[in-house]
Amino acid sequence: MSQGLILVDAPATEAPSTASSSSLPRFHLRFPVSNNRGGLVLPQLLDTAERSLFECLRRFLSHAWHFDILLVDGTHTIAPETFLYLLVTSTWETNLQNLTRDIKRISFEEVRKPNAAINDVLHDRRKDLIFLREQVALGKSWIPRSVAEQLQAIQAAAEKQQIHVGFPHERLGDVLVQAQSLERFLMDSFSLLISSTIVLQATLSTEQAVRGQKLTQLAFLYIPLSFVTGVFGMNVREINGSPLSIWVPVVVLGVTLVLTAAIFTSHGWWERRFVRRI
């Protein structure tokens, strides 16, 4: 049985930064093994802050069916280009799963209490999703002939051994279909965020209206008192010997209360009548 050794660099980590996560760039590796001029892109895993090729390999080899591909034909060694296509396909699938999980979590849970941060996160996920779709489409369209021929040979050997495995030209197509469906769900999440924000604003407006109504009720009591106090002050017979009796301010206060109530009532009646006309 042949053995192989894969050497990778230590994971690159970010230095502490005060920048928000939305402003931090994504790092990707490009391998010159594709017919596309930009090369084959190995993306950064979205669920880890490390830029680690080792982590990509660990995730890739954690799936048993990948070993079925690598070991299905023991007489031939898989080419590096073919191995990279398998690795990239697996990494894109992992990123799509992470995006799906994050977007659904935001849509089902965090949108209940909308804020500007949720909007920023959704835009970041949309950016990642669009990049995924673009690169997956390029990877699927520009598979080298040598890679395609070796994958076909491996697939033929797997069928003889009745082993069902996924291959880049199939899996990348599935990733594109799922990404398109996820993008539609993401746009629905944006609409839901807008609706939730409108509902929240309406609730706040209602609460403010209730507070205003309570202030109006307090004003109904305190405005007549302030008026009578400002007019008469302490100029009553019982306090400083003024010719006015204390009952004069009391009577004026009662009349003022009645007039204030009449003004509030007529104003409310006029508003209701005006609204009905509109």
Question: Taking residues 62-70, what's their average pLDDT?
Answer: 73
Residue 29 to residue 27: CA distance in whole angstroms: 7
What's the pLDDT at 62?
83
DSSP state at residue 51: B
Question: Taking residues 71-91, what's their average pLDDT?
Answer: 80
Residue 37, both tokens: 């001029």
Residue 111, both tokens: 């949108």
Assign 74 a pLDDT band (cuts: 50, 70, 90): low
DSSP state at residue 42: E
Residue 122, both tokens: 């959704």
Q: Classify 198 as helix, strand or coil.
A: helix
Q: Which of 87, 90, 93, 119 is nearest to 106 (CA)?
A: 119
Partnered with residue 41 across adjacent β-strands are 30
Q: Which of 258, 259, 251, 260 is nearest to 231 (CA)?
A: 251
Residue type, 215: L
pTM beyond 0.85: the answer is: no
Average pLDDT of every residue of the chain: 79
pLDDT for 177-209, tens place per residue?
999 999 999 999 999 999 988 988 888 888 888
Q: Which of 89, 179, 88 is nearest to 125 (CA)?
A: 179
Residue 148 to residue 150: CA distance in whole angstroms: 6
Residue-by-residue DSSP string for 209-274: HHHHHHHHHHHHHHHHHHHHHHHHTT-SHHHH--SS-THHHHHHHHHHHHHHHHHHHHHHHHHHHH
Q: Are the beta carbons of 186 and 103 closer than 8 angstroms? A: yes
pLDDT for 235-276, tens place per residue?
777 777 777 777 888 888 788 878 877 877 777 677 677 656
Max CA-CA distance within the chain?
Answer: 123
Residue type, 142: W
Q: What angle do CA 62, 40, 70 make, to 5 degrees?
A: 35
